[in-house]
Amino acid sequence: MTAPAAAALSGVAVVTGAAGGIGAEVARALVAAGLPVALLDRDIPALWELAAELDAAGEGVLAVATDVTDSADVDTAVAKVEGELGPIAYLVNAAGVLRSGQAAELTDEEWDITFAVNAGGVFHTSRAVARRMVPRRRGAIVTVASNAAGTPRMAMSAYAASKAASAMFTKCLGLELAGHGIRCNVVAPGSTRTPMLTALQGDAAERASIAGVPDAFRLGIPLRRIAEPAHIADAVLFLLSERAAHITMHDLTVDGGAALGA
Query: Exposed (0-12), middle (13-18) or buried (19+): which is 99, by Cβ within 10 Å?
Result: buried
pLDDT of residue 196: 80
pLDDT of residue 4: 47
Which domains does the chain carry? 3-190+227-253 (3.40.50.720)
Nearest-CA neighbor of 58 among 26, 87, 27?
27
pLDDT of residue 181: 98
pLDDT of residue 200: 64
pLDDT of residue 2: 44
pLDDT of residue 1: 43
pLDDT of residue 207: 87
* pLDDT beneath 50: ranges in the chain: 1-5
pLDDT of residue 63: 98
pLDDT of residue 22: 98
- Told to judge if 90 belongs to the known catalytic residues of this protein, a careful annotator would answer no
Nearest-CA neighbor of 113 among 155, 152, 70?
70
Cα–Cα distances in angstroms (integers) from residue 110 to residues 42, 67, 97, 117, 224, in the given order? 18, 17, 10, 11, 32
The rounded distance, in Å, linking the Cα atoms of 106 and 134 is 39
Strands of 12-16's sheet, edge to edge? 61-65, 37-41, 12-16, 88-93, 139-144, 182-189, 251-254
Could you tell me the pTM of the whole model?
0.95
- Of 90, 115, 123, 159, the active-site residue reads 159
Nearest-CA neighbor of 140 among 237, 60, 58?
237
For every residue of 123-178, DSSP letters joined together read HHHHHHHHHHHHHHT-EEEEEE--GGGTS--TTBHHHHHHHHHHHHHHHHHHHHHG
